[in-house]
Amino acid sequence: MLGSRDSQSAESAHFTSVDCTRFTSIEWHDEIDSTNTELLERARRGAPEGLVLIADTQTAGRGRRGRRWTALPGTSLMMSVLLRPPPGPLPPSRAALVTMAVALAAIDACERHSGVRPSLKWPNDLVIAAPGFGDRKLAGTLAESISTEGKLTALVVGMGLNTGWPAVPDELDGIATSLNLESGAPVDRTLLARLVLEGLEQRYARLCRADHGAGPGDDSGAASLLAEARCCSATLGRRVRISFGQMSKGEALEGLASDLDAEGRLLVRDDVGITHTVSVGDVVHLRPAS
């Protein structure tokens, strides 16, 4: 996203840890190439779970599918977290649930901070819906993993959330927005970051306990997360078009986004009644939710 610097209200003092969470090492950078790239490199060198990087600006920020993510200083919350999911509850096939937990924590944080509750566009974008205007993107996430011998040893989840635009740029009108514009008030990015991490701890801790619940097969952590995702979804119940990139030679799937499966994948029912399970792809909403 491309924004311009807004006049910021005084923000809270930067914190280096969040009480009662695993996020005990939080670094703040005025400028960095990419919080995700830096955190992946540290993960390969053995950095522990709970390390968080937050930047005022990125010179080489990345979005999904290699897209560039740019924002002028002071206009976005750009943050990456390092997690090392336990292999029992969270094998590689369920890594998407962790990324979903980050997005849901951000939705909650936006509402608690600014009174604005975004919706979740599958897989993990935050959008603001308005009748007649479609969905305007507020935030995007990018998850990158390190696996060893088929086991997920590290997961870095980055997020860029627009917080301080003076106005929507002409080229993004109807496409994107910023939290301050939606709420009509300045955003304290430091406080917002704390709220995201507090919410992530609650959801991630439940996922880590998913296989250690009340009885055999108990999966209440994932089930509660998926239930929350369904309630927040801007995608379910809508007709969608999903493109799969160059690898599929431009092929696309159209149909009704009907549900999420146990691993957070999107279920799409096409026009002849066949349900497809989609694990990755670019989604376009074709019709408003019913």
The tens digit of pLDDT for each residue in 211-270 reads 444 444 456 789 999 999 999 999 999 999 999 865 445 579 999 999 999 999 999 999
Q: Give the tens place of pLDDT for each residue, 150-186.
A: 889 999 999 999 999 999 999 999 899 999 999 999 9
Mean pLDDT of 88-95: 88
Domains of the chain: 25-230 (3.30.930.10), 236-285 (2.30.30.100)
Phi, psi for 3 (deg, rounded to 5): -130, -175
pLDDT reported for residue 4? 35
pLDDT reported for residue 214? 41
- Residue 263 vs residue 131, higher pLDDT: 263
**Buried b vs exposed e over 48-61: b needs ≥16 C-beta within 10 Å?**
ebbbbbbbbbbeeb
pTM, to two decimals: 0.89
Mean pLDDT of 49-74: 74
Q: Give the tens place of pLDDT for each residue, 15-58.
A: 999 999 999 999 999 999 999 999 999 999 999 999 999 999 98
Q: Return the percentage of the chain with pLDDT > 70, whole number.
A: 84
